[in-house]
Chain A
């Protein structure tokens, strides 16, 4: 990933990328997992450190957080509540990036994650180098976010979950769905023939 792309991502996250370039970037994200991951990382960082549930250019936030959505045809959901029989259905898998960013949004996370035990550590690695004009906050640890989510699921399965966990699920669902829709839009544009049609 070259510096130009990194600059472009940074501007996109800040809502400063021109529309035509933003659209192009979104298309690339639909096909480039690394790009999706990098954008999601920037998003998580920005949201976390700013204590925001969104960042500038909010309408495109979810487009930047392309989750690991499987775009293969998939099983039909149960026919509850009048699921239309001719609707295309897409699977959501891991959602590693999307779900974790969603988790941040849900809680309005005031992240105190420290890197190597020091809160004030500068950002390490490529992310820190990208753009002097963009205040790059510390990275959220995707693995840690997955741990939070997994803990919630496992505790619930064992019947002694926290009292408010369903509220968390509500927001997770919302975030995941929005991100999936955007991802789906991107996939549809480039590969419409692969879409599944529910019988």
Chain B
């Protein structure tokens, strides 16, 4: 997230107050894209505390979440309710991942403003003509009134989304990634939530004393450099365009791989181009809602990866050519 919110606390309070005040008034008349704007603002500025359920492939996990924004700085605590009690403590860009049963802490830097809910693009996204955005109906989620916003793709090259937005604040209380058959591939839903209520500092503190824990520091995984590439797809699905091109080293390798990121404004596909080696895999692969396809082009191994249907990555991977 490149746009950073560095507003004063007064401005934030004013913004949140404004949203709360006019929210219900606007609920019945706001255009769908205006809802997206409101959602983006709410995700960036709203403080909340609640329980999130993530459902995917018939499995569910629960997370306790506390999120507070102070002077544009995000403070967040996430506690897994299952397993070993993993805790994520975020203070601005610094993130501590605490594993209590291991008495260890992993320190990371998240140099973006995305939160537990990564924001969907706002109304100025480059949707182009590839999606329809509409308000479907009113509904209730976590005991709150919501408006269900649907993002429907025009073709089978991308997924759709359903987002239940809190009527008062525009905050996304439930999100679904929708496959071509209309079923939810993945969904995240608040089971209960308190929005914009006072959050005590103690609620954001670790649940454990980490004084005697071991600390680990995670370094960046890739070495990257921006480049101009001669490679391009000669049959790119409509609406996609290259938004970044760079070279990077994969962990454990000294060779650079060309990485081109395509986007239609919502869906993203990465294409990796490397020297082909014996044993490189070819064909399709899938991970959750993400798909990939690898193909060999002369002496190069080309792989497309993205949160898009399998046909999209296959078409892109098999049509990449040096210009």
Contact = CB atoms under 8 A, between A and B. Distances in A.
B214 interface: yes
A149 B218 CA distance: 15
Interface stretch (B7-15, B22-30, B190-198, B262-270): B262-270
A5 interface: no
Contacts, number: 260
Contacts of A81: 89, 91, 94, 96, 205-206
B286 A112 contact: yes
Given A141-B280, A156-B112, A166-B114, A83 B294 contact: no
Interface size class, chain A: 35 or more
A68 B303 CA distance: 24
Contact of A91 (B57, B105, B219): B219
Interface in B286-300: 286-290, 292, 294
Label chain B's interface by main secondary structure.
strand
Given A93-B251, A96-B252, A180-B106, A113 B272 contact: no
Contact of B92 (A80, A157, A165): A80
A170 B214 contact: no
A41 interface: no
Nearest to B57: A108
B102 to A, nearest CB: 5
A162 B177 contact: yes
A112 B216 contact: no
B171 to A, nearest CB: 13
B88 interface: yes
A87 to B, nearest CB: 5
Nearest to A198: B215
Interface of A: 68, 70, 74-78, 80-84, 87-96, 99, 103-104, 107-118, 124-125, 141-144, 146-151, 153-167, 170, 173-174, 176-178, 180-181, 184, 198
Interface of B: 1-3, 54, 56-57, 59, 63, 78, 80, 83-84, 86, 88-89, 91-92, 94-97, 99, 102, 104-108, 112, 114-118, 120-121, 125, 161, 163, 175, 177, 186, 188, 205-206, 210-219, 221-222, 243-244, 248, 250-252, 259, 261, 263, 265-266, 268, 270, 272, 274, 279-290, 292, 294, 303, 305-307
